[in-house]
Amino acid sequence: MSRVLALCADDFGLAPGISIGIARLAQAHRISAVSCITNSTHWANGAPLLMHVGPKVELGLHFNLTEGRPLSAALAKVWPTLPALRSLVVLAHLGRLPRAALRVELEQQAKAFVTALGRAPDFIDGHQHVHHLPIVRGIVLDAVEHMQPMPAVRNTGCVLGPGFAVKRMLIERTGGRALARELALREVAHNAVLLGVYDFAQTDYRACMQRWLAALPPSGGLLFCHPGEAGATDSADPIAAARARELAYLGSAGFAHDLADEEVKLGSVWSSVSSISETSSGG
């Protein structure tokens, strides 16, 4: 019996080459979801590439609080440039984030999505998983409950896959598990498990994918990836080489063969059923 994998390409809109590479995969049905950064200066020009990807590819908002500049004047008054992830994590856990300004920023990033694509996002997640941090997750979930139709939210509370146990544990324990509990309590649609964590230094992305596919539970799960064309960003991109490797593999016959060998099909995996009982390998 086939297992279902939601394969989501993150960072669309961050740079032209990233958007072009992701759009190519979406049009070839090699991914099932695209997560979009809308505060980037490249977003408006890149968005038309998603107009013809087809209804089977879900489009979501990649809420960004760690790269570039805020979209809203409210947050720009506090942070003219968005903070690095480490600083954001510390501020979140100390309860020192600007709540009101973050609410406005989320509204503006979501509005930019709707303006460019003429539709609401199918789901919301966070660039570098910021949506699960204290304070931020409450803002995201409150906003989701007032959206029509209500989008799903990426669950980061149960991260599966071989290796990189420390990185998976950090994702779960910086806010992922708390987010999973809130998603279940509020009955917000979400993925049961998350896969795709690695250090970007691994040069054999196919080997990583084969191990993730083997770890995919019968209930299915979501795997996030970061494909993009070589030289995809305007400035130094620490994962540029990894983006190119991912793009090459996901567009290859090898990927299709690996899916078939594991009897995995691409699709949607959102459910409001509690995922708290899923076995976590990160602790």
Sign of the dihedral defined by the CA atoms of residues 167, 190, 208, 36, in that order? negative
pLDDT at 163: 79
Determine the Cα–Cα distance for residues 195 and 215; give it in Å rounded to an integer.
9
pLDDT at 197: 96
Question: Is residue 36 within 8 Å of residue 62, measured between CB atoms?
Answer: yes
Determine the Cα–Cα distance for residues 165 and 209; give it in Å rounded to an integer.
16
Asked if the model's pLDDT at residue 274 lies above 80, the reply is no
Q: What percentage of the chain has pLDDT greater than the value 90?
A: 89
Mean pLDDT of 159-172: 90
Mean pLDDT of 182-189: 97
Paired sense of beta strands 264-266 and 3-12, if any: parallel
Tokens 């620490």, residue? 238
Asked if the model's pLDDT at residue 158 lies above 90, the reply is yes
Determine the Cα–Cα distance for residues 153 and 170; give it in Å rounded to an integer.
19
Mean pLDDT of 224-252: 87
pLDDT at 162: 84
Mean pLDDT of 264-268: 98
User: Which residues, listed in sequence order, are joined to residue 264 by a DSSP beta bridge?
Assistant: 3
Q: What percentage of the chain has pLDDT greater than the value 70?
A: 94
Mean pLDDT of 40-65: 96
Q: What is the mean pLDDT of the chain?
A: 94
CA dist 127 → 58, 240, 264 (Å):
17, 16, 26
Determine the Cα–Cα distance for residues 204 and 226; give it in Å rounded to an integer.
15
Radius of gyration over alpha carbons of the chain, in Å?
17
The model carries a pTM of: 0.94
Mean pLDDT of 69-83: 98
Domain extent listing, the chain: 3-266
Mean pLDDT of 128-144: 98
Architecture of the domain defined by 3-266: Alpha-Beta Barrel (3.20)
More confident residue, 231 or 191: 191
